[in-house]
Amino acid sequence: MLKAVNVHKTYNHQASALHVLKGINLKVEEGDFLAIVGPSGAGKSTLLHILGGLDKPTDGQVIFEGEEIYSASDHQRAHIRNQKIGFVFQFYHLLPEFTALENVILPALIKADMADRKALEAKGVSLLEKVGLKERANHKPNQLSGGEQQRVAIARALVNDPKIIFCDEPTGNLDSQSGKGVISLLVELNCHHQQTLVIMTHDEEIARLSKKVIPIRDGRLL
């Protein structure tokens, strides 16, 4: 499904250069539950952004379903991200003025018209039910716990039926009990719904439950 070929990323700061990724080669198969594990500063978030089409590599290729995504236009790449890729970040990135339901369906509204709104709302409620938050559909983010906000973010990542979901430290901002709930949900998505997951984490529990674990150190996969 996804392949990274000799991916490098260098950030230039005035007279110095920071070489963050140093020749990453990676394959992700359909149905994978892959944990890329490493300490802060190892390059996990940078790699996620590049694999997900958010940040262009300095060198190398990212091939998604046979297409080199950085050869596509910005518009085409945005379409790929919206339609085929889901993202879950450490800090949720929910819009505070919208309800949980509105946050969930927001990525789908980009391509919808008003006639689709009712169907989208029904799908959003169904996704909130899947993550155990149907009764919280009309609550705004400040009325939800951290674990609940992360589950809303996962439902939002699922709304366009993505082929792959990238998670960046999905339990990093949660207490241990909330983190366990999020991990259980991710495992269920993979095991029972065959959702492909790539998770950047230092959480040992996620690593233990994933199907594949690849350590990353100093910008290199080990």
Tell me the residue range of the domain where 82 lies: 30-57+72-221
Q: Which of 162, 134, 169, 167 is nearest to 148 (CA)?
A: 134
Report yes or no: 54 and 76 within 8 Å, Cβ to Cβ.
Answer: no
Q: Which residues of 110-122 are buried (b: 16+ CB within 10 A; e: fewer)?
A: eeeeeeeeeebee
Q: Is residue 4 part of a domain?
A: no
Q: Is residue 43 part of a domain?
A: yes
Q: Is residue 14 part of a domain?
A: no
Q: Is residue 7 part of a domain?
A: no
Q: Ramachandran region of residue 194, left (φ > 0), alpha (ψ -120 to 50) or beta?
A: left
pLDDT at residue 144 in the model: 95
pLDDT at residue 14 in the model: 78
The CATH number of the domain holding residue 169 is: 3.40.50.300
Structural domain count of the chain:
1
pLDDT at residue 183 in the model: 92
pLDDT at residue 21 in the model: 96
pLDDT at residue 16 in the model: 86
Beta-bridged to residue 221, according to DSSP, are 216
Predicted TM-score of the model (pTM): 0.91
Q: Is residue 6 part of a domain?
A: no
pLDDT at residue 154 in the model: 95
Q: Is residue 1 part of a domain?
A: no
Report how far apart, in Å, the C-alpha atoms of 188 and of each of 6, 8, 64, 130 are.
Answer: 32, 33, 24, 10
pLDDT at residue 47 in the model: 96
Residue 161 has a CB neighbour count (10 Å cut-off) of: 11
Q: Is residue 18 part of a domain?
A: no
Q: Is 69 exposed, middle or buried (CB count within 10 Å of its CB: 0-12, 13-18, 19+)? A: buried
Q: Which of 29, 205, 174, 207 is nearest to 88 (CA)?
A: 174
- Show the tokens assigned to 156: 């939002």
Averages of pLDDT over runs of 10 residues in the chain (222 residues) are 96 87 96 93 94 96 96 93 92 94 90 74 93 94 94 93 93 88 92 94 90 94 92
pLDDT at residue 115 in the model: 63
Q: Is residue 3 part of a domain?
A: no
